[in-house]
Amino acid sequence: MDGGCCGPGYASPAEAIRAPREKLLYTIAIYTGTGIQKPDYLTTIDADPDSPTYSQVIHRLEMPGIGDELHHMGWNACSSCHDDSSMSRKYLLVPGVRSNNIHVVDTATDPRAPRLHKVIDGAEIKAKTNLSGPHTVHCLGSEIIISFLGDAKGEAPGGYLHLNKDFEIVGRWEASMGDIPFGYDFWYQPRHNVMVSSEWAAPNTFMPGFDLEEVGHLKYGRRLHIWNFEKREPVESMYLGEDGLIPLEVKFLHDPDSTHGFCGAALSSNVIHFWKNGDGKWEWEKVIDVENEPHPEWPIPVPGVMSAILVSMDDKYLYLNNWLHGDMRQYDISDPHNPKLTGQVWMGGLLGKAPQVNGVDVAGGPQMFQLSLDGRRLYVTTSLFSTWDNQFYPEIRQKGGVMVRIDCDPENGGMKINEDFIVDFGKEPNGPSRCHETRYPGGDCTSDIWL
């Protein structure tokens, strides 16, 4: 298959790397939990250095209600339907993790000023599927799968919502949840008939804030789950124990023939590498371990809290954050069993290494991030989840969130904060808001999967 196909996305990861650079960013901004009674909204940020409005918010699409807590989002179509000319990467699905509403946003009619196309009502989702707490959105050809963290009452394990291409509820995607205790993120590799899912906690547990004792009471996850993708059921669980406390983001390599993948365990601040061995068995190992750091105001050393990871489109680098420490890291994963640290920058965090970036006070630490398809630009935001923000970084209420751009060297490794780019969400028209996940109109390093 060549790059001249007619559907959305790209024929291969190599084609994606050669795509035009991003000129617009879509970034979630939230007022939920800030005390400001305004709707959460989707911002459009100008990322074109030649534009007079570069590094500015140029449009804000407010949601219809207040208190959604917009969190993660995903496209209606990606490279998984590259050969389908009837599909296009036109709609961004933006769920509210608290409201359960899924906002379908048209980004194609006017990419600079997206508009609301449809709202899938959260109450309808609860009534039809017994699900709440939407999280990860992936497209599968013309279908859409969304992980949910809880049942209608907010208890684990939740499950997966199945939507058709017209954004109608088909029902639950999974045939069975087996004995999976918690849900969170997921990624699939169709050529190996496998999906891997990770664990956070029940919405009723994490939404009020973080309580370390609840980890000891087994109210937070510590497993990865291997699924038979065609049968839509879990077939095996990998118990990570103390090395894998709160295993959040999970990513396969982009190469659709590979079985190698990684997961960031937030509380133990480790990266777990998993793969299928020559005998067809799944194995895992801890390959990165971030040490806890002493802090004068903490009774225990501060964990990094590695809440997100990302793999570059060429599968050469893994990026991770330490939200409480305040650093972003780049590792060369050419040998996935032996990652090598090749870059590190500081922004915010509790350790006081970089309280300011480009003249702006950073409240919070590096949290969500999105990498350009060519691997050269990493856009980083600072809010994790409203109640957790308020607990660990109370000053974020007054200062709001920040977006920073980090320039990355994909040839030799290395990272450097770009001095010409900063978006201060503390200066938003309705008061300080917080920024979370980012997507690009042309796809990004965490949305495209190849069949």
CA–CA distance, 312 with 330 (Å, rounded to integer): 10
Nearest 5°: the CA angle 269, 275, 281 is 125
**Contact (CB, 8 A) for 183 and 156:** yes
- Per-residue pLDDT averaged across 360-379, rounded? 98
Residue percentage of the chain with pLDDT more than 90: 97
**Contact (CB, 8 A) for 248 and 6:** no
Tell me: pLDDT of 5 over 70: no
Task: Give the tens place of pLDDT for each residue, 284-300.
Answer: 999 999 999 999 999 99
Tokens encoding 310: 């990302």
Cross-sheet strand order for the sheet of 369-371: 369-371, 377-380, 402-408, 415-424
In order of 32, 83, 265, the CA distances from 262 in angstroms are 31, 28, 10
Tell me: pLDDT of 4 over 80: no
Average pLDDT, the chain: 97
Task: Give the tens place of pLDDT for each residue, 244-273.
Answer: 999 999 999 999 999 999 999 999 999 999
Task: Give the tens place of pLDDT for each residue, 15-72.
Answer: 999 999 999 999 999 999 999 999 999 999 999 999 999 999 999 999 999 999 999 9
Confidence of residue 6 (pLDDT cuts 50, 70, 90): confident
CA–CA distance, 24 with 19 (Å, rounded to integer): 14
Burial of 337 (0-12, 13-18, 19+ CB in 10 A): exposed
Task: Give the tens place of pLDDT for each residue, 71-91.
Answer: 999 999 999 999 999 999 999
CA torsion angle 196 199 202 203 (round to 10): -80
CB neighbours of residue 190 within 10 Å: 16
Task: Give the tens place of pLDDT for each residue, 78-136.
Answer: 999 999 999 999 999 999 999 999 999 999 999 999 999 999 999 999 999 999 999 99
Tokens encoding 90: 């036109």
Tell me: pLDDT of 1 over 90: no
CA–CA distance, 386 with 367 (Å, rounded to integer): 13
Residue percentage of the chain with pLDDT more than 70: 99
Confidence of residue 307 (pLDDT cuts 50, 70, 90): very high
Task: Give the tens place of pLDDT for each residue, 202-228.
Answer: 999 999 999 999 999 999 999 999 999
- Peptide bond connecting 299 to the previous residue in cis, omega within 30 degrees of 0: no
Burial of 431 (0-12, 13-18, 19+ CB in 10 A): middle
By C-alpha distance, which of 45, 97, 28 is closest to 69? 97
Domain 13-439, CATH = 2.130.10.10
By C-alpha distance, which of 162, 170, 230, 221 is closest to 197? 221
Tokens encoding 385: 């989840």
Q: What is the DSSP letter of 87?
A: -
Tell me: pLDDT of 2 over 60: no
